[in-house]
Structure 1
Amino acid sequence: MDFRVLGTVAVVTEHGRHLQLGPAKRRSMLAVLLLRPNAAATIERLTEALWNDDPPRHSRTVLQGHVSRLRALLADHGAPDHGVELVTQGQAYALRLPETLVDAHRFEELLRLSREQREPAAAVSLLREALALWEGPALTGTVRSPLLEAAAHALDELRLAAVEELASAHGRLGEHGTAAAVLRAEAATNPLREPLIAALILALGKAGLQSDALGWFHR
C-alpha cells in the first residue's frame, strides 16, 4: 500500500489500484494526516485545513463522517495487513502506519542520504530516485487553505533543492551538459529563483554553450 502526496494525494493498493477517496475535503483530511504520520491531528487543525476561517455549523459532524468513510475504505482494502490504522485519540485523529509507505517520507530520506555521500555518482543515483517519486505539484487535489498551501510550498521547495543538488552532483562529475538540462527543465517555471538560474548559467558556460548562458543572464 502506497500513500502519495507528491502530486495528487492518493492511496494505491499493492496491486496498483488507486482508491476512490471521494470529495476534495476527504482527500485534504488525508493529506493533513499524511504530513505528520503517526502524530495526532486535532479537530481544530483539521477544521482549519478543510474550511480555513469559515467552517459550516456542523463541521465536526462532517469531519467525523469523512473519518468514518476513510477508515472504512482503508479497512476494506487491507490496510490493517500493512500496519495502517486510522485511530481516534480524544479530540484528535492519527493515521498509524510505517512511514516508509508515504512517498514524502521516502523522498526526504533519499535526499538526506544523498547529502551524506562523498561520491557524486552515488548522490546522483539517490537524487534521481528521490525525484522520480514526484508526479506533479505537491498536495494536488486538496482544498485551498493556508495550512495546506504552506505545506505544499515547503515540499515543492525541497524538490527544487533536490534538483539543484542533482545538477551540482552532475557538475562535480564533469557532466555539465546534463547539469544544464536538469536545471533548464525547472528554469522556465521558476524564473525568479536566483540560485537555480545562476547555476544554469554556470553549467551552460562550462558545457561550452556561452550563447545560451548569456541569454539566460540577460533574461
Structure 2
Amino acid sequence: MEFRLLGAVSVATEVGVLPLGPAKRRSLLAALLLRPNHPVPVDRLTAALWDHEPPLRSRGVIQGHVSRLRVLLATADAEMFGVELLTQGTAYVLRMPESLLDAHRFEELVTLARGQRAPADAVAMYQEALSLWQGPALTGAYPSQPLQAAAQALEELRLASVESLAGAWSRMGEHARAAAVLRAEAGAHPLRESLSAALMRALQRAGRRTEALDWFHRTRRLLADELGVDPGKELADAYAMALRGTDESEQEDGGRDAGRGPVGARAAVTVTSPAPSPAAV
C-alpha cells in the first residue's frame, strides 16, 4: 500500500488505485496525510475543504467523507499495513507507518543525499527521491489556501533537490548532465534566480559560455518585465563568471548543498487553519 501526495492524491494497493471520489474527499485525505500520526482538528479540515465560510452542515459532510474513507481503507485491508483512521475528540488521526507515504520517503532520501560525501552516492539518492514525483503535488485536491500552500512547500523542496542533484553532477565533472537537469526546470520556473544561476554555472563549466550569457540576458529581461527588479547577487555573480570565462571553485556547490540542513518537509507543509470569521463563531 502506498499513499501519494507527490502528484495526484491517491492510495495505491496491490489491486489498483482506490476510487477516492470527489475533490473534497481527496482534500480531506491530503490534510490527514500532511500530518500523519497527529490529530488534525475539524477546523483545520474545514479550512482545507472550503475557502470561504463553510456550509452549515460542514461537520456532517466531513464525517461522511471520513466514513467513506474508512470503508475504502477496509476494502484494501489497510489494517494489515498498520493503517487506521481514528477519531480523537473533535479531531481525526491517520495512524500509519510513514514509510507508506511518498512525501516522507522523498524527504528521507533527500536528507540522506545531503549527507553523502561521494557525489555519485548523492546523485543516486537524489534521482531516487525525484523519481517519486508523478506530477504537481496534491493534484486533484480542492485548491484551498492551506492545501495550495502545502503543495507549494513541497514544490520548493523538489526544486531545491533538483539544484542539489545538479550540484552533485558538477562535483563529478559532469557539467553537461548538470545543465540538462537544470534547463527544463529553469525554463518552467524562469523567475527562480537560483535555478538560472546554477544553469549558467553549469553551462560555463561545460564550455558553453555563449549559452550562459544568453540565459542571463533572457532572465534579466523577464525579471525586469514581470517583477520590475534587477538580478540578485547569485545571478550577477554567475554572469560575472561567464563574462570572465573562468571557473569558480566547484566546491562552492558542495558547500551550498551541505549547508542546507534537514529538509523538514512535514513541518513546512502543515495545514493550518485561519482565524474564524465573526460569522463562523
- TM-score, normalized by the shorter chain, greater than 0.5: yes
Does residue 212 (structure 1) correspond to residue 211 (structure 2)? The answer is: yes
Report percent identity of matched pairs.
Answer: 63
Q: What secondary structure is seen at the aligned counterpart in 1 of 2:33? A: helix
> Which aligned pairs between 1:1-219 and structure 2 lie closer than 5 A?
1-15=1-15, 17-219=16-218
Q: What secondary structure is seen at the aligned counterpart in 2 of 1:88? A: strand
Once residues 166 and 212 of structure 2 are traced to their aligned partners in structure 1, the CA distance between those partners, rounded to angstroms, is 15
Q: How many residues align?
A: 218
Are the aligned partners of 1:110 and 1:126 in contact in 2 as well (CA < 8 Å)?
yes
Once residues 23 and 138 of structure 1 are traced to their aligned partners in structure 2, the CA distance between those partners, rounded to angstroms, is 17
TM-score computed with the length of structure 2 as normaliser: 0.77
Once residues 102 and 129 of structure 1 are traced to their aligned partners in structure 2, the CA distance between those partners, rounded to angstroms, is 15
Q: What secondary structure is seen at the aligned counterpart in 1 of 2:178? A: helix
Q: What secondary structure is seen at the aligned counterpart in 1 of 2:87? A: strand
Which residue identity is paired with 1:142? A
Which residue identity is paired with 1:189? A
Once residues 28 and 198 of structure 2 are traced to their aligned partners in structure 1, the CA distance between those partners, rounded to angstroms, is 38
Q: What secondary structure is seen at the aligned counterpart in 1 of 2:188? A: coil
Residue 212 (structure 1) shift: 1.4
Which residue identity is paired with 1:205? Q
Once residues 2 and 180 of structure 2 are traced to their aligned partners in structure 1, the CA distance between those partners, rounded to angstroms, is 30
Which residue identity is paired with 2:14? E
Which residue identity is paired with 1:19? L
Once residues 129 and 14 of structure 2 are traced to their aligned partners in structure 1, the CA distance between those partners, rounded to angstroms, is 20
Q: What secondary structure is seen at the aligned counterpart in 1 of 2:173? A: coil
Once residues 19 and 187 of structure 1 are traced to their aligned partners in structure 2, the CA distance between those partners, rounded to angstroms, is 35
Residue 63 (structure 1) shift: 0.5
Max Rg structure: 2
CA RMSD in angstroms comes to 0.7
Describe the superposition over 1:147-177 as per-residue Cα deviations: whole angstroms up to 9, x where unpaired.
0011000000000000000000000000000
Which residue identity is paired with 1:177? A
Residue 36 (structure 1) shift: 1.0
Once residues 188 and 40 of structure 1 are traced to their aligned partners in structure 2, the CA distance between those partners, rounded to angstroms, is 40
TM-score computed with the length of structure 1 as normaliser: 0.98
Residue 52 (structure 1) shift: 2.5
Are the aligned partners of 1:2 and 1:14 in contact in 2 as well (CA < 8 Å)?
no
Are the aligned partners of 1:5 and 1:139 in contact in 2 as well (CA < 8 Å)?
yes
Report runs of 4+ in structure 1 exceeding 6 Å deviation: none
